[in-house]
Structure 1
Amino acid sequence: MTADTRREALKNLVSTDGISFAATPILIGPAPYFDLAGEEFGSRLILTIGADGSEFCLRPDFTLPIAIEHLKSGASTPAAYGYLGPIFRQRTDGPAEFDQAGLELLALPDSDAALDRVIGFARAALDIYGIASPAIRVGSIDLFEAFLASCDMPDVWRPRIRARFGHPRAMTRLLDRLADPHKPMEGPKGIPQQGIADWVSELMLTNGLSLTESRGPDEIARRYLEKQALEAAHVPSHTIDLLRTYLAISGDTDQALSAIAELAERGGFALSGAIEDAAASVAQLRNSGRLSGLVFDAGFSPRLDYYTGITFEMTGKDGAVLVSGGQYDRLLKRLGAETEIPAVGCAVWVERLEASCGAGEAGQ
């Protein structure tokens, strides 16, 4: 099969019966990416300004534009969207423009069947490029969130730990900080909480700083008070140890989930339901995709907090990610839907597949 034939087969895969081919605009508003994907992803956007001063970015992915357009037709309307086209991101290596293909299933009533369909799509894409045995890493956001909810700690820390899930370095820094004895913050002694914003305003004006540019006094005061509350909230050392142990679990899926069950028992956590759900999803991934050698990585998650449930990535022999995906039931609600809407999808890194396929043919 030639490169052109493979590309044509991929086009057919993303626009077959029952799939609407999504042709999203290349120029889109960047606000949803800053709001939902965070500063790390936002720093990779390629920004431009329109003639009227409006800010745009070159499309960095298809998932958010597809979800935004889907909301206009009704968030609870079942739909399947396929895509194939260029996306644009600043990268430390490689071109800033590259092609992605993918499938997004939104609001389908049977979430298990939807996951099966996405896994089957990923398998079919790999088959087009002759990738028979990719390495597969699997994670479960629901399982981590259930574990985190069971941990003994002040509630103020749970969202901050959750926000760092999938960011190993940031998580390590946070846990290291929590493991150190807390030192009280120095601050405006004798000033009541309701007066801190005024104190900040006066300090800013004294130093010639604008009260309207960048962060204002109210936001600075709020963050100061929030940080005080965090510093005063102690996380027990045994909780930090449990989190470190959980996040380090990785290996054969059955063995990894057994290790999590043992850890939960040691901590007195009731996680059997969440572990069973994760095991069922992993089995579904294995069977629907005709895959073997899956690795369950307890600390694995996309760096986007609207993901839920099972997530996965499939890599080639050089370790490059060829397919990545998972469930993201929170996204449509975060974009304005009244409730969470079942959603699952995957993205195919086309040029990596083409390079992997070419390398394989060269070695034959």
Structure 2
Amino acid sequence: MNQETGPKMQAAWAALKARGGQEVALPTLLPAALVLELAGEDVRPRLYFASGPDGAELCLRADLTIPAALNYVQNATVDDEPVAWVCEGKVFRAPKAGEDRAPEFVQIGLERFGDADRIEADVTVFLAAWEACQAADEHNLFVRLCDGGLLPTIIAKADLPDPWGSALGEVASHKSALKRVLAQASGTAPSRQISALERTIAELDPERARSTVAEVLTLANLSLPGNRQLSHVADRLAARAKRAIAKPLAPDLAETLTKLIQLNSQGSLAASLDECVTLAGKLGVDLMDWRQAWTLRLDRIQQEAPGALAHAHFEALSPEAFDYYDGMAFDFAADPSFARPVATGGRYDTLVGEISSGTRQARAVGCVIRPARFGGR
């Protein structure tokens, strides 16, 4: 821990460590392709890029979670042995248009891997973040609760016609992208004209489609940039074309999905969860086990930190840019707009598997605190 930090940050750091964790140093430079694959292309304008000696594209870390997961893959020996790390360091993120803040700032965090009990680990990390904020005199915070796995689960289990089921499933964890695809699926987005090549590819089997794209590229004396594989380009062209000529979703399906995506209840948390169960039921998806798991989390939080949920609400899917959260997620903010959260966290069980190309499968959950935002800054 940097001893030059202020007393509020030191108090928050001590509270994080009290929940358990070994201090680790995380890498600052990461493979850019990996970060974009994990966090989503929408974060590209926020990243700072560099080139390695071998010409590989790198980027400065924009959070602590991806570096922590990468560090775990490289250094942990087994997946089912619990590991808890506390970390501190600068992250680098370009401000949004009109946003008045520095492009680099310090974060502190707690990351847990390999816990057998997901609910207990979720609650532990939530309470660690809450206690860190309380230790830094950040009181009366607004809490936003989300579930990054909710929409992916519902879309995967619902009986949605192709190509819309697969198209929605590809972006199910990213709120803005999901809205865009659903607008196409419901016929409310402007239709896009497709080329003769796209229409032809859409009618071919995958292997023929790839051969056709390869032939067109050869005739045009073109090559694919970077690591964009021929099959990836052909498959995307075919998917875009199929969506452009597909029949829209039935209005009732589109309406139910829209209500789920936009669910943002400012009332009872229990009522919000019930509404999710009801809407999913209209799509033929049973969420009663999901509902019970959330009830257990909320009960545990209420027992240990009675004031933590005083200003809490539930949204089905977080609007934040990073889309690797696949379970419970949360934000704490001094303002109900959540424009500048003081703390953010959540479960990311699939991240280790994606980084390791499936060789590791550790469950994971973590949180970060942004000390620069203490005091409502």
TM bucket normalised to smaller: 0.7 to 0.9
How far apart are 1:162 and its partner, in Å? 3.8
Q: Name 1:341's counterpart in structure 2.
A: 362
Give me the whole-angstrom Cα distance separating, in 2, the residues matched to 1:216 and 1:30: 17
Taking only the aligned residue pairs, the percentage that are identical comes to: 23
Q: Name 1:44's counterpart in structure 2.
A: 46
What is the aligned-residue RMSD (CA, Å)? 3.2
Is residue 151 of structure 2 the alignment partner of residue 144 of structure 1? yes
Structure 1 pair 344/69, CA: closer, same or farther in 2 (3 Å)? same
Q: Which has the larger radius of gyration?
A: 1
Q: Name 1:130's counterpart in structure 2.
A: 137
Q: Name 1:240's counterpart in structure 2.
A: 254
Give the secondary-structure state (helix, strand or coil) at the position aligned to 1:341. Answer: coil
Give 5+ residue unaligned stretches, structure 1.
Answer: 360-364
Q: Name 1:224's counterpart in structure 2.
A: 237
Give me the whole-angstrom Cα distance separating, in 1, the residues matched to 2:115 and 2:143: 25
Give the secondary-structure state (helix, strand or coil) at the position aligned to 1:36. Answer: helix
Give the secondary-structure state (helix, strand or coil) at the position aligned to 2:46. Answer: coil
TM-score for both structures, normalised by structure 2: 0.81
Deviates further, 79-88 or 149-158? 149-158
Give me the whole-angstrom Cα distance separating, in 2, the residues matched to 1:52 and 1:14: 39
Aligned residues: 354
Q: Name 2:346's counterpart in structure 1.
A: 326
How far apart are 1:204 and its partner, in Å? 4.4
Q: Name 2:161's counterpart in structure 1.
A: 154
Q: Name 1:314's counterpart in structure 2.
A: 332
The letter of the residue matching 1:282 is L
Give me the whole-angstrom Cα distance separating, in 1, the residues matched to 2:152 and 2:362: 19
Structure 1 pair 104/147, CA: closer, same or farther in 2 (3 Å)? same
Give me the whole-angstrom Cα distance separating, in 2, the residues matched to 1:51 and 1:339: 29
How far apart are 1:81 and its partner, in Å? 0.5
How far apart are 1:256 and its partner, in Å? 1.3
Structure 1 pair 81/237, CA: closer, same or farther in 2 (3 Å)? same
Is residue 272 of structure 2 the alignment partner of residue 260 of structure 1? no
Do the aligned partners of 2:332 and 2:342 also contact (CA within 8 Å) in 1?
Answer: yes
Do the aligned partners of 1:104 and 1:346 also contact (CA within 8 Å) in 2?
Answer: yes
Q: Name 1:80's counterpart in structure 2.
A: 84
How far apart are 1:314 and its partner, in Å? 0.8
* Aligned positions of 1:1-364 closer than 5 A: 4-15=6-17, 18-71=20-73, 72-76=75-79, 77-92=81-96, 93=99, 94-154=101-161, 156-165=163-172, 167-180=174-187, 187-188=196-197, 193=204, 196-197=209-210, 199-201=212-214, 203-204=216-217, 207=220, 209-213=221-225, 219-230=232-243, 231-232=245-246, 234-251=248-265, 252=267, 253-290=269-306, 291=308, 292-300=310-318, 302-317=320-335, 319=338, 320-336=340-356, 337-338=358-359, 340-353=361-374, 355-356=375-376
TM-score for both structures, normalised by structure 1: 0.84
Structure 1 pair 49/329, CA: closer, same or farther in 2 (3 Å)? same
Structure 1 pair 260/128, CA: closer, same or farther in 2 (3 Å)? same
Give me the whole-angstrom Cα distance separating, in 1, the residues matched to 2:213 and 2:19: 61
Give me the whole-angstrom Cα distance separating, in 2, the residues matched to 1:228 and 1:52: 37
Give me the whole-angstrom Cα distance separating, in 1, the residues matched to 2:169 and 2:235: 21
Deviation by residue 1:6-56 (Cα, 9 ceiling, x = unmatched): 233234344458411111132333232022112122332211224453433
Do the aligned partners of 2:327 and 2:347 also contact (CA within 8 Å) in 1?
Answer: yes
How far apart are 1:305 and its partner, in Å? 4.2
Structure 1 pair 264/110, CA: closer, same or farther in 2 (3 Å)? closer
Deviation by residue 1:45-93 (Cα, 9 ceiling, x = unmatched): 2112244534332222221222122123224132110012211111223
Give me the whole-angstrom Cα distance separating, in 2, the residues matched to 1:342 and 1:217: 33
Give me the whole-angstrom Cα distance separating, in 1, the residues matched to 2:251 and 2:127: 44
Structure 1 pair 112/275, CA: closer, same or farther in 2 (3 Å)? closer
Structure 1 pair 183/237, CA: closer, same or farther in 2 (3 Å)? farther
Give the secondary-structure state (helix, strand or coil) at the position aligned to 1:109. Answer: coil
Q: Name 1:362's counterpart in structure 2.
A: none
Give me the whole-angstrom Cα distance separating, in 2, the residues matched to 1:223 and 1:352: 41
How far apart are 1:346 and its partner, in Å? 0.6
Do the aligned partners of 2:9 and 2:136 also contact (CA within 8 Å) in 1?
Answer: no
Give me the whole-angstrom Cα distance separating, in 2, the residues matched to 1:20 and 1:142: 28
Structure 1 pair 212/134, CA: closer, same or farther in 2 (3 Å)? closer
How far apart are 1:166 and its partner, in Å? 5.6
Give me the whole-angstrom Cα distance separating, in 1, the residues matched to 2:172 and 2:224: 34
Deviates further, 53-62 or 251-260? 53-62
Structure 1 pair 110/269, CA: closer, same or farther in 2 (3 Å)? closer
The letter of the residue matching 1:210 is L
Give me the whole-angstrom Cα distance separating, in 2, the residues matched to 1:108 and 1:270: 26
Give 5+ residue unaligned stretches, structure 2.
Answer: none
The letter of the residue matching 2:262 is A
Give the secondary-structure state (helix, strand or coil) at the position aligned to 2:59. Answer: strand
Give the secondary-structure state (helix, strand or coil) at the position aligned to 2:313. Answer: strand
Give the secondary-structure state (helix, strand or coil) at the position aligned to 1:101. Answer: strand
Do the aligned partners of 1:136 and 1:312 also contact (CA within 8 Å) in 2?
Answer: yes
